[in-house]
Amino acid sequence: MDTLTHALSGALLARLICARPAAAALPHEVARVLAPAGRFGAAWDQAPGHLAPWQVVVVGALAAAFPDIDAVTQAFGEFVYLRHHRGVTHSVLMAPLWAAVLAAIFARWFAATRERAGGWKALYVPVLAALLIHIAGDWITPFGTMMLAPFSDARLGLGAMFIIDLGFSGILIAALGLAALLPRRRWPAALGLAGAAAWVALAWVGQQEAEAAGRAYAQARGVRAETVEAMPRPASPFNWTVAVFDGHEYHLAHINTRRKAPLVAGPDDFFVRRFSAPYLPVDQAQWTRLPRLGGEGTPPWVKQAWEHEVFATFRWFAQAPSLLEAVERSRLATTAPRAGDAAAAGMAAGASAAGPNAAAAIDASADPQAEAERCAAFRDLRFETPGREGSPFRYAVCLGGAGQARVFRLEGPAWRPI
């Protein structure tokens, strides 16, 4: 889920647990001593030792955004990011420790907690709650979250909602706006969180319907379905890409589980309509077949590229990997790797590209300094959204001589070494 939506959910949850303590009715001197940790009085109570609701909301928003600080791992490499994003900062086991650290930091920001012994304890509950709602928000998406890190790197997830969901975010924004208009009431926050939970439940229903459509297709066509996966798509909780894997290839369709007729959208239509148009009614679904590691005409070195040790991180990360293309080419030993530009820069030196089912041979002897290079590019179907240019998480392995291998990230037509 996007960081802004995480912050919104943390702010709303913090507002919900920002309650008036009974100590607020006591004299100020007594209230300062008896004010319970982890409970907050509203600004109008005028009780010392308590934060104003807006302060609690700010703390909740910042704490809920904190786990995404692991995005800094991108500075250390593409695969470092894949390996560690949604790792220890997203762990339910580590959340109590992170909450203590953040509460101690935030406590220094406000006089009410800074001047109070153990003032950080008053922030611990909303901070921990914000961290946990961030983890829950990522768990419902298909990316996968290492909720048990550092003891397990299993990527867990419900996979029921697209990473950016305007409906879900809109519910949170509306609830926060209502809470601002009714500052003495907590029910707007409760209503907003209940509405967000109901939206997730609706998406889960759509997921079950999409998986049922995949199983029905497999049964009707006599396909041996090893797995049936429904991948959420934008614009509607009923937009899905269904992948039926038979052990060798994927049977893929883009469907809307509630649509009765195709949605027609032109280039000038609202973007939500344009994003939703590719998803057809279930009974009109157009099923295509995509090989996982290639078909009968795919050369054996594609599997070698997939299994190479330099590609271990992507193999661990990808849940629905599929061969995108296979390329055999020659390149100058002294030339920096650049494939893909102008239909692969290496092709200018005599290379040729092929789809998943074929690969063309090359004549490396055309240049005495040239060395043969075989490249296999892969994608993760979870992130292949219809109509989107430059899908993320596409990588290629290029095999050279003596068991050498290089990894590239695909950015549109360009291949960037990583």
The DSSP bridge pattern shows strands 227-232 and 239-245 to be antiparallel
In contact, 162 and 141? CB cutoff 8 Å: yes
Do residues 88 and 130 both lie within one domain? yes
Confidence category of residue 353, pLDDT binned at 50, 70, 90: very low
The three-class DSSP label of residue 334 is coil
Do residues 306 and 329 both lie within one domain? yes
The three-class DSSP label of residue 136 is helix
Q: Would you say residue 386 lies in a domain?
A: yes
At position 68, the amino acid (one-letter code) is D
Q: Would you say residue 362 lies in a domain?
A: yes
Cα separation, 259 vs 80, whole angstroms? 41
Confidence category of residue 354, pLDDT binned at 50, 70, 90: very low
Residue 3 is predicted with a pLDDT of: 95
Mean of pLDDT over the chain: 84
Do residues 237 and 313 both lie within one domain? no
Q: Which of 20, 67, 53, 66 is nearest to 189 (CA)?
A: 53
Do residues 15 and 112 both lie within one domain? yes
Residue 334 is predicted with a pLDDT of: 30
At position 195, the amino acid (one-letter code) is G
Do residues 325 and 394 both lie within one domain? yes
Do residues 272 and 391 both lie within one domain? no
In contact, 375 and 362? CB cutoff 8 Å: no
Residue 20 is predicted with a pLDDT of: 52
Confidence category of residue 260, pLDDT binned at 50, 70, 90: very high
Residue 371 is predicted with a pLDDT of: 67
Q: Would you say residue 271 lies in a domain?
A: yes
Find where tokens 């982890």 sit: 38
242 has pLDDT over 50: yes
At position 176, the amino acid (one-letter code) is L
Q: Burial-class residue 359 by CB neighbours within 10 Å (0-12, 13-18, 19+).
A: buried
Which of 291, 319, 348 is a domain's end point? 291
Q: Would you say residue 181 lies in a domain?
A: no
- What kind and span of H or E run contains 327? strand 321-332
The DSSP bridge partners found for residue 228 are: 244
Q: Would you say residue 267 lies in a domain?
A: yes
Higher pLDDT, 338 or 178: 178
Do residues 274 and 309 both lie within one domain? no
Which of 125, 142, 158 is a domain's end point? 158
Q: Would you say residue 99 lies in a domain?
A: yes
Do residues 149 and 42 both lie within one domain? yes
pLDDT per residue over 42-69, tens digit each? Answer: 333 444 556 778 888 999 999 999 999 9
Q: Would you say residue 132 lies in a domain?
A: yes
Q: Would you say residue 225 lies in a domain?
A: yes
CB atoms within 10 A of CB 298: 20
Do residues 67 and 111 both lie within one domain? yes
pLDDT per residue over 155-213, tens digit each? Answer: 999 999 999 999 999 999 999 999 999 988 899 999 999 999 999 999 999 999 999 99
Do residues 376 and 275 both lie within one domain? no
Domain count for the chain, please give it. Answer: 3
Residue 340 is predicted with a pLDDT of: 37
Residue 400 is predicted with a pLDDT of: 85
The three-class DSSP label of residue 410 is strand
284 has pLDDT over 50: yes
Parent domain of 248: 205-291
Do residues 261 and 325 both lie within one domain? no
DSSP E strands in 215-248: the ranges are 227-232, 239-245
Which of 101, 134, 158 is a domain's end point? 158
Long-range contacts of 120-125 (CB under 8 A, 24+ apart): 121/37, 121/38, 122/35, 122/37, 122/38, 122/39, 122/40, 122/49, 122/50, 122/51, 123/51, 123/59, 124/37, 124/38, 124/99, 124/100, 125/17, 125/38, 125/39
Do residues 80 and 132 both lie within one domain? yes
